[in-house]
Structure 1
Amino acid sequence: MKKIVSIVLSFTLLFTLFGCSNSKYTKFSKSFLNLFDTASSITAYDTSQAEFDKKYNKLYGEIKGYSELYDIYNDYDNIVNLKYINDNAYKKPVKVDKRIIELLTYGKKAYKITNGYVDIAMGSVLSIWHDYREKGESLPPKSMLTKASEHTDINNLIIDKENSTIFFNDKELKLDVGAITKGFVCNKIYEYITKNNVWQSAVISLGGNIITIGNKPDKNDFVIGIENPNSNEYLDKIYADDNTSVVTSGSYQRYYTVDGKDYCHIIDKNTLYPANYFKSVTVISSDSALADTLSTALFCMDLNTGRKLAEKYNIQAIWLDKNDKITKTDGVKSAK
């Protein structure tokens, strides 16, 4: 029986997050569902609805541009995006937008950071899981996954920065940037808002990848509530000052059920099957791309290995294991 559940927001902004008596600014918020295949929201303090709407529309346009460029499933008129690259880059080098060069260059860095646990060249395997998950009827045969995994060498992704081209040295190589894209774009959003002086106090959520801009108008930190998959209570509440990213990878966010067993969307490169160490892993960092990358990597490795990786890159993390035990790094700033 087909059963696909997509929990689109990994985090909940606490009601008190935007409680402020400063009469000059009011909290405004808008949500959208059509970008990055997930639910997202933009929330900010501004002087009026009209001012917020004007700024929102410009920012939405920026995000939409990234969503279309980084889309691996859909074509768009006059846009050379990742789907076009997947379909054509094995034939000859494809001229691309510099934003694609930047993302894929970071993707290679993410591979090194995580010792291969996050691999944007895993598309041939992940596309099989995507298709089977959409049908929701069965698991892909191991032989099919093993054969596809022969075409996941990231060294066959050739990035020519000087000429702004991408080439695949394997005609069956496919890219899947889902483990890094929203965090990477959150960094770009932060840059856009701060460089253009759009807002001094805002919270952006791309499918639950959260980044804060500034503090609340009363100068207090934001508070981010992390979803507990087992109850309506928060797993934790985190203080977040300016440029704090909070990203969760979870088995409950997107999965399907076969013969009574749930299979999540996060695939362990070592087994070619869904990772099964934790229910969720949350990463807190001032670098949203790094937080996105490491939340996936930590989800796919045992706790001790994950703690060493978290320490190496000076990020904070919260693990919820299969038995509902919570483990935190020492630097997590939990709100009372």
Structure 2
Amino acid sequence: MRRLPFLLLTLLLLAGCAGAPAAAPSPGLTRYEATFLTLFDTVTTIKGYAADEAEFQATAQEIHDGLLEYHQLYDIYNEYPGVVNLKTVNDAAGGPPVKVEQPILDLLLFCREVYTETEGRVNAAMGSVLSLWHEAREAGINDPEHAALPDRAALEEAALHTDFSAVVIDEAASTVQITDPETRLDVGAIAKGYAVEQVCREAPAGLLVSVGGNVRATGPKADGQPWVVGVQSPDGDGEEFLHTLELSQGSVVTSGDYQRYYTVDGVRYHHIIDPDTLLPAAYWRSVTIVCADSGLADALSTALFTLPQEEGQALLNRWDAQAMWVDASGQQFYSPGFSDLIRT
């Protein structure tokens, strides 16, 4: 998606704010919503209540500005004036350490923890493999008649350079060094949710923030009622939901084979790659996670997508999270506490 200029973002924020129905949930408060398109290559919406439009716009702008900082720091494709980001770190692979800002250190420390706890199912050092799939997907979308899979030998060679131990994080010096010149970082399975979590921890209570489907509630609505969050059907058009969930605090994140994909010889190939097969994971159509932390929810949705249900449940138990799995036939499977969250 082409990034839009900041001026357009401001216009979208102004145009996206709309008043609530006549009956306000609390005296003096009105419901507003803002939408903008410039973060993490997806649509971001913010919903909440405020005394007036100006107050809500100020809150939405603060959230945007916080997310924009993370977006630029965690970008592996683009450079920004005066910003040392993950592209900078990747470009220096095999060379000396790169001095980075604290949010990059914090993210990579979290990535290392997730890598260890999921036994490599979520691996931010898998960029060499994921870049081959990214290039093939982009080429196939742009030229469907000549869409092709990545070369198998190239995938297997790239997989030799995906050990997270090649990513050396020096907290005292604020540096990151990739010691293997062929290793690349790709934080797509974690960064968006992680950024949402960090920004929402500092945001006012009572907001619902969605960044491309990574949903985070900072508290219930102004009337004390929970927000209602839809779980998209893998076969729908984005407006059809399998369930709606009630969420007062915490996150709902879904990973699905319908989100980013391309077609080769009539077969759909999605973007969530199984580290064992180096192919799109074939266990599930979608996995939805509900837990307190949006970054963790993002990571778990990817991990569980690449695992059988029993192994995924073991991860959920470790982190006090709930999940719903949807298989190829459309059958739904729930972790023990997920049903309690379902509204419809």
TM-score past 0.5 threshold:
yes
Offset at 1:329?
Answer: 1.1
**Residue 239 of structure 1 aligns with which residue?**
246
Q: 1:76/1:327 Cα in 2 relative to 1: closer, same or farther (>3 Å)?
A: same
Offset at 1:315?
Answer: 0.7
**Residue 288 of structure 2 aligns with which residue?**
282
**In the TM superposition, what whole-angstrom CA distance separates every residue of 1:2-50 from its partner, at most 9, and x where no partner exists?**
xxxxxxxxxxxxxx99985324211111112221111111111111111
**In the TM superposition, what whole-angstrom CA distance separates every residue of 1:258-285 from its partner, at most 9, and x where no partner exists?**
1000000111100011111111000000
* Contact 2:93 2:183 (8 Å CA) reproduced: no
Does residue 308 (structure 1) correspond to residue 314 (structure 2)? The answer is yes
SS at match of 1:34: strand
**Residue 261 of structure 1 aligns with which residue?**
267
**Residue 336 of structure 2 aligns with which residue?**
330
Map 1:198-217 → 2, pairs under 5 A: 199-217=204-222
Map 1:68-147 → 2, pairs under 5 A: 68-136=72-140, 137-147=147-157
Counterpart AA for 2:108? L
Residue 185 of structure 2: which of 136, 154, 175 is its match? 175
SS at match of 1:200: coil
Task: Write the distance in 2 (CA, Å) between the matches of 1:179 and 1:324.
Answer: 24
Residue 172 of structure 2: which of 162, 165, 188 is its match? 162
**In the TM superposition, what whole-angstrom CA distance separates every residue of 1:52-98 from its partner, at most 9, and x where no partner exists?**
11222222111111100000000111110000110014210100001
Task: Write the distance in 1 (CA, Å) between the matches of 2:25 and 2:201.
Answer: 28
Offset at 1:302?
Answer: 1.1
The ranges of structure 1 where at least 4 consecutive aligned residues each deviate by more than 3 angstroms after the TM superposition are 16-21
**Residue 248 of structure 1 aligns with which residue?**
254
Counterpart AA for 2:159? S
Offset at 1:312?
Answer: 2.6
Q: Which runs of 5+ in 1 are unaligned?
A: 1-15, 194-198
Residue 152 of structure 1: which of 144, 153, 162 is its match? 162
Q: 1:279/1:190 Cα in 2 relative to 1: closer, same or farther (>3 Å)?
A: same
SS at match of 1:175: coil
Higher relative contact order (CA 8 A, sep 6+): 1
- Which structure has greater strand proportion? 1
Task: Write the distance in 1 (CA, Å) between the matches of 2:230 and 2:81.
Answer: 39
* Contact 2:193 2:296 (8 Å CA) reproduced: yes
The percent identity for this pair of structures is 41
Task: Write the distance in 2 (CA, Å) between the matches of 1:248 and 1:18.
Answer: 33
Aligned residues: 315
Superposition CA RMSD, Å: 1.7
Counterpart AA for 2:115? Y
Residue 225 of structure 1: which of 221, 230, 236 is its match? 230
Task: Write the distance in 2 (CA, Å) between the matches of 1:293 and 1:94.
Answer: 25
SS at match of 2:31: strand
* Contact 1:18 1:216 (8 Å CA) reproduced: no
